[in-house]
Structure 1
Amino acid sequence: MTVFRTVEIDLVLPSDARSDGSPAHGTRPHGALTRQAASLESIETLRFSDLGYVTPDHVPYPPIVTQAFDLDRGLSLSSSALGGSSSYGAITLINADGALDDIITQKVNDHLPIRIFGGEKRWDDARGLWIDPPPSALTPIFGGLGTVWQPDRNALSIPLLDVSSWLSVNMDVRTYGGGGKLDGDSNVAGRNQPRVRGTVCNISPTLIDAANYVYQVSDGPAAITALYEGGFGGGIGYGGDVADLYAASPAPGTYTVQRSPTGTWLRLGTKPVYGITVDAFGSFASGAAPQNVLDILRQMLVEDFAFPAGYLDPAWPATSDLAPWAGGWFWDGSETVTGADVVNTLLSGLGISLIPTRSGTMRPVALAPPVYGAQPVLTLTPDQITEISSVGLDSSLNPPTWRWRIGSQHNFTIQTSGSGLHPQAPTDRQALIAISDRNSVWFSAVVKARWRVPNDPSPVTTALQSAYDAQLIAERHGDLWGTFRELWAVSVPAALAWKVDLGDFVSVQAPVPGLSEAMMGCVVAEHIRSSDATVTLQILILGNPQNPADQTNDFGGDLEDMVPA
């Protein structure tokens, strides 16, 4: 067997817009434009390989790839965050005869799709030649984008990016023009409009018209569940929804609301004495109203960042059961926000990473011990492992952690006792708005006593709404990191490594301490060098799940023995 790689590059070719002046007798005047929309662009796919490849349909892949790419990607394992990190090299193509000169000079070649596949040629003894496999037998290695091509005298280099590079774009927002009414007065001219997605607590809406006491809550439809003045919710009453806030002033001591796909505003009938805050639930302009944090993130990528829907993995549905936890966040418009910022904010503390897959899509991955019945995607034995070595975990996770504090119901407007609070603000409300987060705690006195200096991570701010969900996640973190974990760098043949992706469970058995018997682990990183025939996987050993029926109870007996006959 001989390992080879193929490269496919999609070039988008703009077409000149032109009118069709053909006659249309009997239906339209002579010379009228056609009613059939013509495509303004076409796609041309370039195909190359490193060793040469021809499909059964006689489509050639010329062998001009001198360097496929070097790849390093993985999950960032630390107590403060669990995100994805990756770095890629470049594809190098031979251009000694100038065959690619026209593409370099005439075609648009920035941020265009690139796919790399791997396969194995089979030797045919009877005919004395190598047999190419069909395209269906090739395994995806990389799917992403190529940046601006860099030509040399006899070669062409194409730097690579994964699909997560789309997250570097800024959030699509509207800006106040300062023209008055809903366009804002001169005080907010040039400022971005606020945005609410999901359930938020105690946010400060933007005062856009100081003369008429008009505030904007969100740039989309939002439901105001409560309004407070200085922490007191009984002073200003709800006056109803209206089609136009400026048609009539609200009655004294009340507020009216105008909402539409382009925003939600409120107007007070009386000048407030203390600061105005609201609890709200924000939806999207399309009408979508996801409640769970992961579902909100997915909809934001599609609707607020124009993330190409084709880059969302089919395993990531609009309603995911991976993280069934309600929450939300508020962006007040004072700062520029990128897609990466939103991902970090909404997934903070959840133990979930958004990773690029080999096929060029994005999907969320939860890092957690395997449940009973989970099957490994790949089984690695000493016969397949060419090298294995220990890798040190981040110092925030090794030694183990003895306590986790996970926040919920984030308070966006800190209000402490003093002149900023209404005299009638209840004590329970004052306690809620005086701190930024309420923490749910997991701790282990056993871990604290066993290790001389166990880790104690700082409280983690999350987008969660429920303290119950935060407690569940704290316990999951404790289950994962409240014990000693080992991380191993395992080198295996490339064709074997291509069968797994980040987040997949594998079974590992090797002649090293702790792995004399097969143990389950999770692939958290990989390192690929195009010049090597092997790939190094970093595997976090999580242990084999136990059958709940075989576990003992707190008194040391078998659970089955406790069941009455």
Structure 2
Amino acid sequence: MPYLLRAQPYDPILGTVRWLYFSDIGFTTEPADAPSNTYFVRRIETPLTVRRSLFAGSAIGGYSETSFGKATLGNDDGAYDWLSDLDWDGRLVEILYTPVERPALADFAVLFSGAAEQLVLGDLIEIELRDLLVLLDVPASRGQFGGTGGIDGTVALKGRDKPWLIGRRRQIEPVLIDAANNVYMIDPMGFSALLAARDMGVTYPNAVGDYASYAALVAASLTGTNVATSKAAGLIRLGQKPEGRFTVDAEGVQVSGTWIYRFGDLVRHLVTSMTTVTAGSLLDASFTAFNALQPAVLGYWCDGSSVPQVRDVVDELAQSVGAYWGFGDDRKLALGRYDGPAAIADFTFGERDIIDLTPRSVERRMKSLKLGYRPFGVTFTADELKQVNVSSADLEAFQNAYRWTLLGTSAIAAAASLLATVDEAKSLFDDEAAAATERDRRLALFGAKRKAFDVVVPLTPGLHAGHTVKLNDARYGLSAGWRGVVLEAERNADDETHKLTVIG
């Protein structure tokens, strides 16, 4: 069947990107098409092999798995050796497909839209493909201190990444940027609220105001245990040096004047402020829907001493709420949550469609679960706390990295499965009720008995990991139709099949 490949590598001679067009059997667009009167050169040998998973490994929840694959072009005559002079990494590559034998351009559907990893030259040119998630494999950074003094930090801080805070976090240790004036930084983009400030676990009693800038903050008259802020500049100042470790509870950055704390809003901020992904590359409806589905307060703190990748931060947030996320063939970043199969399947395959159907093992059922929440940025030993002034509850709490929900139990799994697991997991929820709700959601999902299959079906444009499929087959109790979620989809254009891993 006909395939098209269009790519947009960077041409250093032109100083911009250029379009390249290839096909497997030769194809020319019509005058009314876009692009018009364009020949797609007959060079495609392998149109596409690509795999995409909702989650890395076998676990369900968090930790995205990028697509990977390749397409190849014939080059035994060396006519396209010049392609290696172009810059391919991160550039647009799209594969289009149609089952129509004599198609028009409008008959083609996008089978893959992503980025090139690199081009490997030879008699067979290999274009290594990656999902656009590679654009998020960059440092989650607000920039570095210049070491020129004042708000730019001391010489000792030169080159260190600046700290940042999103959502709400407890017991974090701000970065001292001006020892002479006792000024600490939380986030150069600002923060919303200082909930508590402590020295060796003892709360500072006096907050004396908020100032518009670093200059105004250091000019203010502070004494003793006074604490002042410049929330717009992301700063805190103390009236005197702390006796021990200085920690705060705080609410992080605002966007358009509003504090952000929900998963969808945090992801939007991270990818649009720290990567080349723009707001126009987000599937807004999925972000709005996820905020409504999971409105709980989350938080993430980076002190700048080590800097994670943006993708790793999003993955850690996603793991807390059971989210999956990634780019679709529309090149839009979308969010979703595994909640089991949808009531109405996106695609249905009967016995005549199913090329191969193989049952596969599933994870053990979950009997019990407790969830950690409200992570502390730093913990203390008993000797590090000023015990005479710290309440007994705080004295115990400050020595633990997380608080924990009660152990929840699935009565169904406990009664039916002797090998059901007793688990614990950590999260970035701030509130116990939100953590308990997520605990119970996971128990309902993973305490139930499940089936899983590897199924091979004809190549189906638009079918991706995350879709619900319905399988009708005489075997394995599927005669009445069974719905499952596609956890992994592997597209092979050589034999025109989709290999799916489905669970439900």
Query: Normalised by the size of structure 2, how large is the TM-score?
Result: 0.90
Question: Structure 1 segments of 4 or more deviating over 6 A?
Answer: none
1:210 lines up with 2:210 in the alignment: no
Identical residues among aligned pairs (%): 23
Q: Which residue of 1 aligns with 2:71?
A: 91
Query: 1:534 is matched with which residue: 486, 490, 497?
Result: 497
> What corresponds to 2:34 in structure 1?
none
Shift of 1:230: 2.4
In the alignment, which residue of structure 2 is the partner of 1:114?
Answer: 93
Is the contact between residue 227 and residue 236 of structure 1 (CA under 8 Å) also seen in structure 2? no
Does the 8 Å CA contact 2:387/2:395 hold for their aligned counterparts? no
Structural mapping, 1:237-248, within 5 Å: 237-241=207-211, 243=213, 244=215, 245-248=217-220
Change beyond 3 A, Cα 1:120–1:53: farther
Matched, 1:62 2:41: yes
Offset at 1:303? 0.5
Secondary structure of the residue that 1:111 maps to in structure 2?
Answer: coil
Aligned partner of 1:400 among 365, 371, 379:
365
Aligned 8 A contact 2:467 2:486 in 1? yes
Shift of residue 155, structure 1, vs aligned partner: 3.4
Distance 1:499 1:80, change over 3 A: closer
Residue aligning to 2:226: 254
SS at match of 1:375: coil
SS of match in other structure, 1:67: strand
Q: 1:136 Cα shift?
A: 3.1
Greater alpha carbon shift after TM alignment, 318-327 vs 464-473:
318-327
Q: 2:23 aligned with 1:49, yes or no?
A: yes
Task: Decide which of 406, 409, 418 is 1:443's aligned counterpart.
Answer: 409
Residue 184 (str. 1) matches residue 153 (str. 2): yes
Alpha-carbon distance, 1:404 to partner: 2.0
* 1:370 CA displacement: 4.2
Task: Please identify the structure whose Cα radius of gyration is greater.
Answer: 1
Quote the offset at 1:280 in angstroms: 0.9
Q: Mind listing any 5+ residue stretches in structure 2 that lack a counterpart?
A: 32-36
1:498 aligns with 2:498: no
Q: In 2 relative to 1, CA 65–322 (structure 1 residues): closer, same or farther, beyond 3 Å?
A: farther
2:502 pairs with 1:522: no
Greater mean deviation of Cα atoms: 281-290 or 354-363:
281-290
Report which stretch shifted further, 233-242 or 222-231. 233-242
Q: Return 185-194 or 162-171, whichever deviates more.
A: 185-194
Q: Does 1:6 align with 2:4?
A: yes
Q: Which runs of 5+ in 1 are unaligned?
A: 17-40, 123-130, 542-565
Could you tell me which of 469, 472, 487 is aligned with 2:434? 469
Equivalent-residue separation in structure 1 for 2:285 and 2:19 (angstroms) = 27
Shift of 1:453: 2.2
SS in 2 for 1:406: strand
Match among 137, 143, 146 for residue 168 of structure 1? 137
- Name the CA shift for 1:283/1:412 in 2 (closer, same or farther; >3 Å): same
1:285 Cα deviation from its structure 2 partner: 7.4
Write the mapping of 1:534-553 to structure 2, written as runs, cut at 5 A.
534-541=497-504
Provide closer, same or farther for how the CA distance between residues 479 and 145 of structure 1 changes in structure 2, counting only shifts above 3 A.
same
Partner AA of 1:88 in structure 2: F
**1:554 equivalent in structure 2:** none
Shift of 1:212: 2.6
Letter in 2 for 1:442: G
Q: 1:178 to 1:56 in 2, by over 3 A?
A: closer
Instruction: Give secondary structure in 2 for the equivalent of 1:256.
Output: strand
Match of 1:341 among 307, 312, 324: 312
Q: Give the distance between the partners of 1:63 and 1:272, measured in 2 at CA.
A: 72
Secondary structure of 2:326's counterpart equals strand
Q: When the two structures are aligned, how many residues end up with a matched partner?
A: 493
SS at match of 2:240: coil
1:278 aligns with 2:248: yes
Let me know the Cα RMSD of the aligned residues: 2.5
**Quick one: distance in 2 between partners of 1:66 and 1:214?**
62
CA contact (8 A) 2:66 2:130 kept: no
**3-state SS of 1:252 partner:** coil
Which of the two has greater helix per residue? 2
- Corresponding residue for residue 199 of structure 1: 168
Structure-1-length-normalised TM-score: 0.81
Residue in 2 aligned with 1:24? none
8 Å CA contact 2:170, 2:377 repeated in 1: yes
Question: Judging changes above 3 Å, is the alpha-carbon distance between structure 1 residues 78 and 89 closer, same or farther for their aligned structure 2 residues?
Answer: closer
After superposition, give the CA deviation of every residue in 1:489-523 in whole Å (9 maximum; x if it has no partner).
Answer: 111111xx323221111211212223121122111
- Asked whether the equivalents of residues 412 and 448 of structure 2 are also in contact (C-alpha less than 8 Å), the reply is no
Kindly indicate whether residue 327 of structure 2 is the aligned counterpart of residue 364 of structure 1. no
